[in-house]
Structure 1
Amino acid sequence: MLNVIQSPSKYLQGPDAAALFGEYAKNLADSFFVIADDLVMKLAGEKVMNGLHRNDIQCHAERFGGECSHNEINRLIALMKAQGSKGVIGVGGGKTLDTAKAMGYYLHMPVIVVPTIASTDAPTSALSVIYSDQGEFEEYLIYPKNPDMVVMDTAIIAKAPVRLLVAGMGDALSTWFEAKACYDAHAVSMAGGQSTAAALSLARLCYDTLLAEGEKARLAAQAGVVTTALERIIEANTYLSGIGFESSGLAAAHAIHNGFTVLESCHHLYHGEKVAFGTLAQLVLQNSPMEELETVLGFCHRVGLPVTLAEMGVTTDIENSIMAVAKASCAEGETIHNMPFPVTPEQVYGAILTADLLGQQWLTK
């Protein structure tokens, strides 16, 4: 089997990138259909639209409904066809960007994503996470290529709620551990082959960057300013995590995240917050050394990621709730089966409850 690595065609990052990317976008299309929710449009819409207009690019903006579901994708595709746009731009968070990627795929048109937060590694990937209209995970939609351009405006991201940046660190936290599990299992990644040394190295760099810069970056975001640490964490949350997971693979942490989506009590959590706890559960599942568990627990606690079920919002009917999560995590086709050993719902159930006790123990230190 071939070793495969893939990435977006172009990645731009820096202050005011959303105002400057038009110079590169004009090489892709002369008209774009821009989607964003109401809040993001007020925050960054004018900057993006003016950046396009300055390069003689026509654009039309439309409201994103909030959920990356097949119904929302089809609704926006119909509107885009009516406009006759030649490319699509998603501005906002992960679900907006995933919707833009789906639109570009179905319409065979170039895709540009402009995240206003660094809360997931979704921007760089050649896939979308599809949910139901009610917010429950349905499937991964995998594409033949990555976005044509990813634009990270760090001045905008620095002003976003701190919790979103921290959630991005939670998502990125799983990258190294899942990549290593897939590498050891010789699993087929979402890039369609086995991991390259480069992809595995980027995944490790992602983890090392989180530990070195995460707390400093959180403080910079709290102040609403761009610092070197914040720039590095934005790159780790987005590019390093994105290439690392896609070209190495997902394993237990993301499958357990998907399992937690069946609990209504967890719907208030961001993707990366659930993934962070899923990472702790994966470490228990694979019997990682206590030193490694304590490093991850300490990092999560310092930056503000959940380490217990109570912090996740799971406080009642624990046994039945966690067994439901465990069964959903082990569903046929789930990424938990990329672990280098067979995994059962009973094992996941035990790992989650043990991770919870480890978190409780850590918080009482």
Structure 2
Amino acid sequence: MSRPSSPAIRTLIGPGRYVQGAGALGRLGEHLRPLGSAPLVVADDVVWGFAGHEVEASLRAAGLPARREGFGGVPSAREVDRLVGVVRQAGADVLVALGGGSTIDAVKAAGFLAGTRWATVPTVASTDAPTSALAVIYTDAGEFEEYRFFPRNPDLVLVDTQLIVSAPAHFLAAGVGDALATWLEARATVASGSATMAGGLPTQAAAALARLSWDVLWDNALPALDAVRDHLVTPAVEKVVEANTLLSGVGFESGGLAAAHAVHNGLTAVPQTHGLAHGQKVNIGSITQLVLEGAPTSEIRDFVEFTTRVGLPTTLTEVGLRPSDTEELARVAAAATVPAETIHSMPFAVSAADVAAALASIEGFSRRVRAEAGLPEPVPFTGRH
């Protein structure tokens, strides 16, 4: 699962070019042209329905063919292999992911196997997948299977913030959940001296970007979400999109992952959580990590209150579980603590029993914090957003 590393080497990696702003999609062809002459865009039918026309126009204006392939919905080994076959048959030399994190991970994995360059064009700011040199591969049923690592990051990451604000606000909220974990996990990795996903020790630059992502989100997430609900691009939106995508992307990859994402991976092992966004499950992982750390009560309370206001789950109820689900929590904890998991980057040993206890404990604490803050009671998750 982990990239080979040297304990004496510090490493920072990132995308070849990052482009962000309202209307950026219209310049896709301009930025793809230096990368190749035969692009293939991968997008599902929904995404292609609202973005395909502009993509085609931009590619044709740059003298590039406008070819598109559909996406199957889950970045599984089967879907990746299917896309590799399509790429080779089409003779594509640049693979472009247009969509969310699942499409992006599948394209990165397929581009590597097919020997092409690859670019990512996220249509939501819901994960930090667009910038990284790794993909999360799931089973066809949606359970975490493995991380796949690649020798380079995307050649291009292009983010049109006008597209981002056209999507429902819960996508941006999920990205906030994913990005907030970046600093919590980076500081744990720095403290333990563990290797990162980039293949070395954390750099000061990556840790600083992780902390910057955290600070930007605490200052801007709530006004940005208000703006997105009105489909407006504001300075707060631009800051949050950059924090969710670039700052968190470089910050997690070269700063380190720890318990929060391991708990996310564990949560995918129980069917009750299927249908939740990546960042929603990560937020439960972040709270679990804070509990495992024995963080000050005030810090955990502030995190629960803030992320509840963002619209993220802060109780087991909201991810389809209960503290009394001992069998399911044990399964989550076991998956989160397998030998190769990132939870072992914590600066202390963590057992499956520790994780199960921490998970069970957050329900009562979070409910009390929410009640004291006058926030709504948790709504049970039933498999649909």
TM-score (norm 2): 0.93
Pick one of 314, 319, 324 that aligns with 2:326: 319
Q: Distance in 2 between matches of 1:341 and 1:108?
A: 40
Equivalent position of 2:94 in the other structure = 87
Equivalent position of 1:68 in the other structure = 75
Unaligned runs of at least 5 residues, structure 2? 1-7, 373-385
Secondary structure, counterpart of 2:121 in structure 1: strand
Q: Distance in 2 between matches of 1:147 and 1:321?
A: 37
Deviations 1:194-243 (A, max 9, x none): 11111000000000111000000110111111011011000000001000
Deviations 1:92-129 (A, max 9, x none): 00010111111111122110100000000000000000
Unaligned runs of at least 5 residues, structure 1? none
Do structure 1's residue 14 and structure 2's residue 14 form an aligned pair?
no
Equivalent position of 1:5 in the other structure = 12
Secondary structure, counterpart of 2:67 in structure 1: strand
- What are the within-5 Å matches in structure 2 for residues 1-365 of structure 1? 1-315=8-322, 318-365=325-372
Q: Distance in 2 between matches of 1:315 and 1:294?
A: 20
Q: Percent identity, aligned pairs only?
A: 43
Letter in 2 for 1:241: S
Deviations 1:234-266 (A, max 9, x none): 000000100000001110000001111111111
What is the CA distance between 1:49 and its match in structure 2? 1.9
Secondary structure, counterpart of 1:5 in structure 2: coil
List structure 1 runs of 4+ shifted beyond 2 angstroms: none
What is the CA distance between 1:316 and its match in structure 2? 7.9
Equivalent position of 2:376 in the other structure = none
Contact 2:323 2:361 in 1 (8 A): no
Contact 2:323 2:360 in 1 (8 A): no
Contact 1:59 1:85 in 2 (8 A): no
Letter in 2 for 1:271: H
Secondary structure, counterpart of 2:145 in structure 1: strand
Secondary structure, counterpart of 2:300 in structure 1: helix
What is the CA distance between 1:188 and its match in structure 2? 0.7
Contact 2:316 2:323 in 1 (8 A): no
Q: Distance in 2 between matches of 1:198 and 1:76?
A: 35
Contact 1:199 1:243 in 2 (8 A): yes
Q: Distance in 2 between matches of 1:334 and 1:67?
A: 22
Q: Distance in 1 between matches of 2:55 and 2:364?
A: 46
Number of equivalences: 365
